[in-house]
Amino acid sequence: MIPAIAPAKKESPLLFEGLTWREFKAVEQLLDRPGYRLSFLDGVLEILKMPGEPHETVKKRIAALLELYLLVAGFDFTPTGSMTLESETVAVKREADESYKLAPGRRLPDLAIEVVFSSGGINKLEVYKRLKIPEVWFWEDGVLEVYHLRGEGNALYYEKISSSEEVKGIDLNLLLRCVSMVNHVDAIKTFQQAIQK
């Protein structure tokens, strides 16, 4: 099988340290431009140029497959895309590549998905931990890693797990196989046929 996504050169984000939340918000307004993503953690501003088509192809493929599964499995979900997740109280800001509320009445997403075509930068799991996002998926180089939030109060941590606890029953190996297919429509049809058996 020919992989759908050609390996892209990994870009390193620009990092600026020692900013206050107020300084970050001022810089954010100045740099509000398409094609760039700004994140913030503990006084460090991360500026990442979005990698383009390979990134968007993987992101949209994962979203299409996941949403198909959520529909078939009967989840009452809301896709929240790359909505801005931020808190001045815990000094963080991040936009996931994709995110989902998996039940009605949620204030923040239950699942954040990161498609990684960069290296270095701020600790994204730390950002999501402070925001108390229950589960985070990282896709990188054809591998999907799933992390689930554990603990209570200030003793929160992410545990790497082999299957999703938020999207119960999803076959992540099947999802990955379909993400790597050349043709988008073929990938969706293959996934749909497999989950409807």
What does the domain layout of the chain look like in residue ranges?
A: 51-195
Query: Which whole number is the average pLDDT over 104-111?
Result: 94
pLDDT at residue 59 greater than cutoff 70: yes
Query: Which whole number is the average pLDDT over 47-71?
Result: 89
Residue-level pLDDT at 10 = 67
pLDDT at residue 179 greater than cutoff 90: yes
Give the pairing type, strands 98-101 and 44-49.
unpaired
Query: Which whole number is the average pLDDT over 176-185?
Result: 94
pLDDT at residue 3 greater than cutoff 50: no
For 129, the token pair is: 């931990």
CB 37 within 8 A of CB 45: no
Please, what is the average pLDDT of the chain? 89
d(CA 71, CA 96): 21
Q: Hey, what amino acid is at 116?
A: V
Instruction: State the CATH class of domain 51-195.
Output: alpha beta
pLDDT at residue 2 greater than cutoff 80: no
Beta-bridged to residue 48, according to DSSP, are 37
pLDDT at residue 170 greater than cutoff 50: yes
Question: Three-state DSSP class for 65?
Answer: helix
> 55 or 140, which is more confident?
140
CB 31 within 8 A of CB 38: yes
Q: Over the stretch 120-157, which tens digit does the pLDDT of each residue have? A: 788 999 999 999 999 999 999 889 999 999 998 779 99
CB 48 within 8 A of CB 118: yes
Measured in whole angstroms, how far is the alpha carbon of residue 164 from the centre of its chain? 14
Number of neighbouring beta carbons within 10 Å of residue 193: 9
d(CA 114, CA 137): 6
Q: How confident is the model at residue 49 (pLDDT cuts 50, 70, 90)?
A: confident
Ranked by mean pLDDT, the top range of 5-19, 95-109, 111-125 is 95-109
